[in-house]
Amino acid sequence: MNFSDSFLWGGSIAAHQCEGAYDEDGKGLGIMDLVSVGDYGKPRKIYSQLEEGVLYPSHYGIDFYHRYKQDIKMFSEMGFKALRISIDWSRIYPNGDDEKPNLLGIKFYQNLINELLKYQIEPIVTLYHFEMPINLVKKYGSWTNRKVIDYYLKFCKTMFEALKGKVKYWVTFNEMNHIDPQTEATDIFTYIIAGLKYSELTDKKQTLATIGYNMTLASCMAVKLGHEIDANNQMDCVFGIEPVYPINCDPENVLKAFMQTDRDFYQIDAMCNGEFPKYKIEEYRSAGISLNITDKDLEAFKVGRLDYLGMNYYASSVAKYEGADGKESALFGGLQNPYLKTSKWGWTIDPIGIRYLLNYTYRRYGLPIMITENGLGAVDKINENGEIKDDYRIEYLQQHIREIKKAVEIDNVNCFGYLTWAPIDLVSATTGQMSKRYGFIYVDMDDQGNGSKKRLKKKSFNWYKSVIASNGEKI
């Protein structure tokens, strides 16, 4: 197999990280509108209400809300075949439980999609990328409450209908898998996914299991709804997966590594195999965790199966082992791999991991896979000639695309798209920084939100353009 002629080259962005305009045109407050910028290495601070004098990066983003036409034109200049965007729930239903949707919010996304279609860029639309109306957290307790599933489905229905015939590829959720009741979590990860701080949860294990279950169920129900509204809809849920390797061939360590990689797959199993996995229900039962599974739920799992899989890939890690004194990986708490380098933010750079992940996932489910995010967060400097020579980014992406090529050509994995995170600099989700840059397009803005917001092409802009033009032949 080769990269098909219709291979979807492009990029991926999320509303709360780029749009800004947090209180314009009837938008309500979303969970990320209450999170500040984190200093280097330190997590972002989460507020329970807006406070004077605090800088909240989602309030201004990179002003994509007003500049999307100019930005999409630049994506089209690179030859993009696809752009993954997210819809901010709080633009459509400002409080989440409103009776009627906010028409100005819908209009914005209709215009945005029309602009993409004007350039033959396939829109890939995520319905939940860390963007929940804060009211649903405060009033209902977020995903712990089944009522929130109903409100989510109402929002999905509104968008399926508003964009019917224009959008074919949908993503129900971004990276719900980072909530695991059996491991310690950080506040920022439970917060970006569910608007709740880990440290403040009572009965942590039970609460996280309930959230994980309810979100999985909500995804299956949204898939069914998406199919009912338009049989052409292709439904997906995106997972952020970190392969976990054993430190050596001691069977104990190999087993640990398998278990730790696999712990992120139970929700994919539920969304692909027609039932919530029995092994997970049993695991919960022995840990004293109970799930309230109704007959209606059983039916929802049966019919709400995914059409394709979206994988976000940044890094791998090493499983913790008996007597380990290695440095912890910055991402999800495994250990760092002595064979591999890391980014400035401590994320392990492992191109072979993407081939491993593609094979692991494709062989397990047999569904087509899209790489929905992959990229390097780095500090970029403008030189005296006004250029940004981001060779490190080109090198990172080159290495990863080569491994995807091997997965497709040698291993026969059906991978039908590659979206970089993010084609334009935007606010980092975990740190809130602008200086953690991923783009082919530089945005003139610093961590304090100062700057002209002018867009500038980096060296990688033309490089990616030629990768796309050659359909992955010239990497």
Interface positions with ligand BG6 (CB under 6 A): 14, 17, 174-175, 240, 312, 373, 377, 421, 428-431, 436
Q: Please choose, from the candidates 276, 261, 256, 390, the residue with its C-alpha nearest in 3D space to the C-alpha of residue 316.
A: 261
Q: Which of 115, 175, 242, 403 is catalytic?
A: 175
Question: Is the Cβ of residue 101 or residue 417 nearer to ligand BG6 in the bound state?
Answer: 417
End-to-end CA distance of the chain: 18
Residue 347, classified by CB atoms within 10 Å of its CB into exposed (0-12), middle (13-18) or buried (19+), is: buried
Please list, residue by residue across 256-291, b when 16 or more beta carbons sit within 10 angstroms of its beta carbon and e when fewer do: bbeebbeebbbbbbbbbeeebbeebbebbeeeebeb
Output the residue with the shortest Cβ distance to ligand BG6: 430
Question: Is the Cβ of residue 190 or residue 206 nearer to ligand BG6 in the bound state?
Answer: 190
Angle CA 115–56–331, to nearest 5: 85
What is the number of alpha carbons within 13 Å of residue 356 lying toward its C-beta?
16
Smallest distance from the beta carbon of 232 to ligand BG6, in angstroms? Answer: 26
Neighbouring CB atoms inside 10 A of 198's CB total 18
Smallest distance from the beta carbon of 323 to ligand BG6, in angstroms? Answer: 31
Q: Which of 122, 131, 373, 403 is catalytic?
A: 373
Smallest distance from the beta carbon of 13 to ligand BG6, in angstroms? Answer: 9
Question: Is the Cβ of residue 113 or residue 311 nearer to ligand BG6 in the bound state?
Answer: 311
What's the rounded Cα separation, in Å, for the pair 258 and 454?
A: 46
Residue 378, classified by CB atoms within 10 Å of its CB into exposed (0-12), middle (13-18) or buried (19+), is: middle
What's the rounded Cα separation, in Å, for the pair 84 and 131?
A: 15
- Annotated active-site residue 175? The verdict is yes
Question: Is the Cβ of residue 13 or residue 289 nearer to ligand BG6 in the bound state?
Answer: 13
- Annotated active-site residue 252? The verdict is no
Place of tokens 């072979």: 352
Smallest distance from the beta carbon of 57 to ligand BG6, in angstroms? Answer: 11
Smallest distance from the beta carbon of 428 to ligand BG6, in angstroms? Answer: 4
Question: Is the Cβ of residue 436 or residue 458 nearer to ligand BG6 in the bound state?
Answer: 436
Positions marked catalytic: 175, 373
